[in-house]
Amino acid sequence: MTRLYTLWRDRRAAALIEFAIVLPVLLMLFVGGYQLSDALTAQRKVTIMTRAVGDLTSQYRTLRTAELDGLMAASTQILTPYATEPVRLRVTQITVESDGKVFRVDWSRARNAGPIPEGRYWAWAIPPAYRRPNMVFILSQSAYRYDSVLPNYFDRITFSDALWLLPRRSATITLT
């Protein structure tokens, strides 16, 4: 009986047992926090990339397709160290027609995605604040498929962004 009482009062291994119980929870918090931080960084880089390609495009008066392709290729390098192959990027010039209810796609260029076909469309796709007659906009859109560091535990996420800009140096940008 005294031996059982002595074992009951012995606290030398208590910290080791508590650590063994808490360790899996701490590891899950660490890995989950790392994964969340990595995903947020990738999402932020997608936003910066979308802004960069739109901002650079809006500074031209005349742009050749090869130059625009180069701008899109250079903008994807912002995603480094993430893989740039799965990036879908599109730049489009849109003109709102005089009635403000219809818009026209003047030109569209894309990387790893389809361009928006040229033509006339209903203006519901344009944010209401931008539906002003005879306005010209540059729309830059991007999508990036983010693969987790631990694909067995976290699903694949697609980050996307869109940015509306006005041409800066002229009323419209000519793509040749």
74-116 confidence digits (pLDDT tens): 999 999 999 998 899 999 999 998 888 889 999 999 999 999 9
pTM over 0.85: no
pLDDT tens digits, 16-27:
788 889 999 999
pLDDT in the model for residue 1 = 72
Q: Report yes or no: 138 and 54 within 8 Å, Cβ to Cβ.
A: yes
Predicted confidence (pLDDT) per residue in 112-149, tens digit? 999 999 988 877 778 888 888 999 999 999 999 998 87
* 6 has pLDDT over 90: no
pLDDT tier at 61, thresholds 50, 70, 90: very high
Taking residue 101's Cβ as centre, other Cβ atoms within 10 Å add up to 12
* pLDDT score recorded for residue 175: 95
Range of the domain at 95: 2-175
Q: How far apart are CA 106 and CA 39, in angstroms?
A: 35
What residues contact 61, with CB distance under 8 A and at least 6 apart?
169, 170, 173, 174
Residues 105/55, Cβ–Cβ less than 8 Å: no
Q: Is 40 helix (H, G, I), strand (E, B) or coil?
A: helix
Mean of per-residue pLDDT scores for the chain? 90
CA distance 156 to 176: 38
Longest dimension (CA), the chain: 97
pLDDT at 51: 97
Q: What is the pLDDT of residue 100?
A: 80
Number of separate domains in the chain:
1
Residue showing tokens 């890995």: 31
Which of the four pLDDT bands, split at 50, 70 and 90, describes residue 7? low
